[in-house]
Amino acid sequence: MDRPAPPLPPTAYVVLGMLRLGAQSGYDIKQAVDISTRFFWSISEAQLYPTLADLEEKGLIEGRDAPRGKRKRRVYEVTPTGETALKRWLSREEALSFEVRDVAMLKLFFADAVDDDQGVALVAQMRTRSEATLEHLRPQLDSTFEETGDEDPPRFPGIALRLGIAVHESIIAALHDFEAELERRG
Amino acid sequence: MDRPAPPLPPTAYVVLGMLRLGAQSGYDIKQAVDISTRFFWSISEAQLYPTLADLEEKGLIEGRDAPRGKRKRRVYEVTPTGETALKRWLSREEALSFEVRDVAMLKLFFADAVDDDQGVALVAQMRTRSEATLEHLRPQLDSTFEETGDEDPPRFPGIALRLGIAVHESIIAALHDFEAELERRG
DNA sequence: CCTAACATGTAAACTGTTACATGATTCC
DNA sequence: GGAATCATGTAACAGTTTACATGTTAGG
């Protein structure tokens, strides 16, 4: 009587996916997330380590202690069950939730309550923010991303990266227009 | 000894801001949020009504019962204190947090684990999703947005709207390129 | 010697959602 | 008569963050 296993939270698939891409320890996963998926899915340590324990308990990953010197360390591998679970999730037809929480957009939306130059300042701040994001993303276009060895390097992380870059470029362009437009009136 | 009041959560400013733009009841605010700010800041009823109670208790808004027939209803106004709080928030210099939670991007990032045509399907699904969003946003460009009466119509909601449209247009364009690129290889 | 990076974890608190509950009114 | 909309709310839960806690190792 296999009751259908309750679906895992997206965060669990991030862990599974990162291990599959070559990350070994929880620390590795955290590093990888912080330079890549964090722009559309962030994870904190307080989530990560319990998730690893949970996935191991469920048999989707297998861990073993692999200390470096006296520094404790635990490395994991994705089990066949875990591989299947990841693929099933990737293939599953479902609505794909997309949520944004952006305080800057909120302030922009309500900016009629304050002076126009405050609105201009806000737009400028948003532009700077996207420029900073681009400075994180652009250099990664070059980096080889070849954790798996080399035989069949993953291509989709690069696609996700390029999408992120395109979005922030368009944000910058639009904000640039708004700045001009608002200053014309001021 | 006015201890500096603990800062309100962004959701509280949405409520304050929407009332200022002409919403009267909690229900009004919910409607307004669902067609506008929800694309960068959503609110559920379970958050909204307690927030209204909290803001009233703090003196930032003032409510009175205004039933329609036998259907109970409570309307609110922003007090001078509330107005000040909103303006102070809008003018405050601070880091503006920006977070995205997008399951589609996650699947895209890890799509090397499945067949290429699954990746293509995912890209198509994401494109459809942004197209649907545009269908919500574009019509609002025309709508007059004149809740305050007419004397001085708010302009920034329109700017926020145009930014959202620009972003989704660029997403669609980028995804379109990826589809072509992936099919060339398949 | 000291700082940054490596490495893992827990407890408490907080935020936010889902599902539920209730009832009136309008429009077809 | 029934569905959609108007209108307000609560309880339980899920997910996430912050702050704390601890110790090692490499490099300047």
Half-sphere exposure of residue B60, counting CA atoms within 13 Å on the CB side? Answer: 24
Task: Report chain A residues whose CB lies below 8 A from the CB of B86.
Answer: 110, 113
pLDDT at B148: 46
Per-residue confidence (pLDDT) for residue B4, from 0 to 100: 61
Please report, as a single letter, which amino acid is at residue B152. D
What integer best gives the mean pLDDT of chain A? 93
| Contact criterion met (CB < 8 Å) for B96 and A86 | no
Distance from CA of B69 to the nearest CA of A (A): 33
Contacts of A158 (CB under 8 A, 6+ apart): A141, A145
Chain B interface includes A160 (CB < 8 A) = yes
pLDDT digits (tens, 9 = 90+) for B113-164: 999 999 999 999 999 999 999 999 999 998 754 444 567 899 999 999 999 9
Per DSSP, which regions of A20-153 are E strands? 61-65, 74-78, 98-102
Q: With bands split at pLDDT 50, 70 and 90, how would you rate the model's confidence at A4?
A: low
Q: How far is the CA of B20 from the C1' of C11 (A)?
A: 41
The answer to whether the CB atoms of A107 and B113 lie below 8 A apart is no
pLDDT at A25 > cutoff 50: yes
Please state whether B129 falls in left (phi above 0), alpha (psi between -120 and 50) or beta.
alpha
Are A126 and B96 a contacting pair, CB within 8 Å?
A: yes
What percent of chain A has a predicted confidence (pLDDT) above 70? 93
**Cβ-Cβ contacts under 8 Å for B27 (sequence gap 6 or more):** B73
CB-based contact B102 A96, cutoff 8 Å: yes
Residue A165 has pLDDT above 70, yes or no: yes
Sequence-distant (6+) residues with CB within 8 A of A4 are none
Residues 6+ apart with CB under 8 A from A52: A15, A26, A29, A61, A63, A74, A76
Residue pointed to by tokens 């072509």:
B180
Nearest beta carbon to residue B119 from set A96, A129, A156: A156
Q: What is the pLDDT of residue A148?
A: 47
DSSP assigned state of A59: T
Max distance between CA atoms of chain B, in angstroms, equals 70
Dihedral angle sign, alpha carbons of residues A180, B88, B147, B39: positive
Radius of gyration of chain A (CA): 21
Asked if A110 is an interface residue toward chain B (Cβ–Cβ < 8 A), one would say yes
Closest partner residue to B160 among A98, A109, A114, by Cβ? Answer: A109
Q: Find the helix or strand (DSSP H, E) in which B74 lies.
A: strand B74-78
Is the CB of residue A67 inside 7 Å of nucleic acid strand C?
A: no
> Any CB–CB contact under 8 A between B55 and chain A?
no
**A-chain residues near B119 (CB < 8 A):** 156
Contact of A145 with A107, CB cutoff 8 Å: no
pTM for the full model? Answer: 0.95
Strands (E), chain A: 61-65, 74-78, 98-102
For residue A144, name the pLDDT band (cuts at 50, 70, 90): low
Residues of chain A contacting residue B120, judged by C-beta atoms under 8 Å apart: none
Q: Which residues, including other chains, have CB under 8 Å from residue B160's CB and lie 6 or more apart?
A: A105, A108, A109, B36, B40
- Find the farthest-apart pair of alpha carbons in chain A and give their distance in angstroms, rounded: 70
Q: Taking a C-beta distance cutoff of 8 angstroms, is the pair A13, A89 a contact?
A: yes
Residue B53 pLDDT > 90, yes or no?
Answer: yes
